[in-house]
Copies of this chain bind each other. A is one copy, B any other.
Amino acid sequence: MNNAKTTPVKISDVVLRDGHQSLIATRMRTEDMLPICAKLDAIGFHALEVWGGATFDACVRFLKEDPWERLTSLREALPNTPLQMLLRGQNLLGYRHYADDVVERFVARAADNGVDIFRVFDALNDLRNLETAMKAVKASGKHAQGTICYTVSPVHTLETYLEQARRLVDMGADSIAIKDMAGLLTPYATSELVAGLVEAVEVPVHLHAHATAGLASLCQLKAVEAGCRHIDTCNSAFANGTSHPSTEAMVAAFQGTPYDTGLDLVALKEIGDYFREVRKKYAAFESEYTREDVSVQIWQVPGGMMSNLANQMKEQNALGRIMDVFDEIPRVRADLGYPPLVTPTSQIVGTQAAMNVLTGERYKSITNEVKRYLLGGYGQPPAAVDEEVRRKAIGSEPVDEGRPADQLQPEMARLETEIGELAESEEDVLTFAMFPDLGRDFLKGRRDGTLVPEAIPAPSSGGGERPVSEG
């Protein structure tokens, strides 16, 4: 139990990862990060989140930067600040489950290149998908942060979250993060959840809450009052909307109280002035879907998912039926045992809901992803799935109830062979592992000296492609 009711709040700033991922499609380039690192490093943050999430993908896909090089240069430029990454458990930073040997090597290389704190999560909160990564972090001597993906459903009670936290601590978690990727938390729900967690576990509790509905700063305040001492904020230049509460505001909020962060507002403001200029360069990646929007508090559907669905329905000339899809989403989610809606489950649920509406008959057509999900391919759903839907989808095929990665043979050796001399390091092999085609092209381009970052579009062109993950 944490009795530190009057100790300072510690701030992890996410401007170098989640801030630009949330607001400008993960496009900030390393060249725009390095000039401000000395000032960032002098602030005294608990941590800076700098890697993982969609940044790896964006580096390889759009920026033609080696993500490992970004990590080592940030490590060098930020010698005094712990660096944090976001890791999708057994999915690492890719879009499938990897064999354990890949997970182990990935974590080892990330630790070696500079990551101090690994925030590890699984979209279904299936802790078996976190096991190998957590063990690997511990083996590397780094900080393993176990994550609770927050969602709202009849089966997600306070007790299920507390039990998950206890199990994460049993797995070696050095801290627990509440990850509210959609902005579902309300201040008083946060209060209850945090008070429970602080009571239930000895390790620090972190709050990562997106400001999508305009509630995250309120949630952080109530979290702090309930005993949380670690909040994720983002420099004001990349704060609010689908990003996070601003660092400056939260620092000011606690000034002169027992929670005082002790951070220097003038220095933070200077950093903000820098990043506001940087943000202008990326104006083409701004989107109206990143602004504050209360919808998630009405329909429990994350903003990114709503805009994706709107686009899908538009393409089918069926935008007029979008409200039917919003109504169908909770039903599909119930059928699938109430998965939290985050990559990849948000796509799985959303696409099936749209299909159920468009075909005019529920589950007349069923996506391969839903089939894979019902076969146990993503792990264990939070609750029992609907038996009839399962039968329609997979008939009498056996459901795999084991840890998904137990089905996978070691694959590092194969990956090394496949990529051959294009890989100059184990890091390169792991890049290839994350993105087979894209990674190979990247390594080839690097060898041939033909890598060209995407041009930054003119602001009027309405934004470029966005990597396919949230967080």
Chain A residues within CB distance 8 Å of chain B: 186-188, 213-215, 217-218, 221-222, 236, 239-240, 245-246, 248-249, 251-253, 255-257, 265-266, 268-269, 272, 292-295, 297-298
Contact = CB atoms under 8 A, between A and B. Distances in A.
B186 A255 contact: yes
B186 A246 contact: no
Contact of A248 (B188, B214, B222, B252): B214
A186 to B, nearest CB: 6
Contact of A252 (B214, B252, B269, B272): B214
Majority secondary structure of chain A interface residues (helix, strand, loop or mixed): helix
- 3 A-B pairs closest in CB distance: A214-B249, A248-B294, A252-B297
- Copies of this protein, total: 2
Nearest to A255: B186
A269 B298 CA distance: 10
Nearest to A186: B253
Contact of A188 (B245, B257, B266): B257
Given A214-B245, A221-B221, A245-B214, A187 B253 contact: yes
18 contacts: A187-B221, A187-B253, A188-B256, A214-B239, A214-B246, A214-B249, A214-B252, A215-B253, A217-B218, A218-B221, A221-B221, A236-B292, A236-B293, A236-B294, A251-B294, A266-B298, A269-B294, A272-B294
Nearest to A288: B276
Contacts of A272: 294
Most chain B CB atoms below 10 A, which of A186, A251, A256? A186
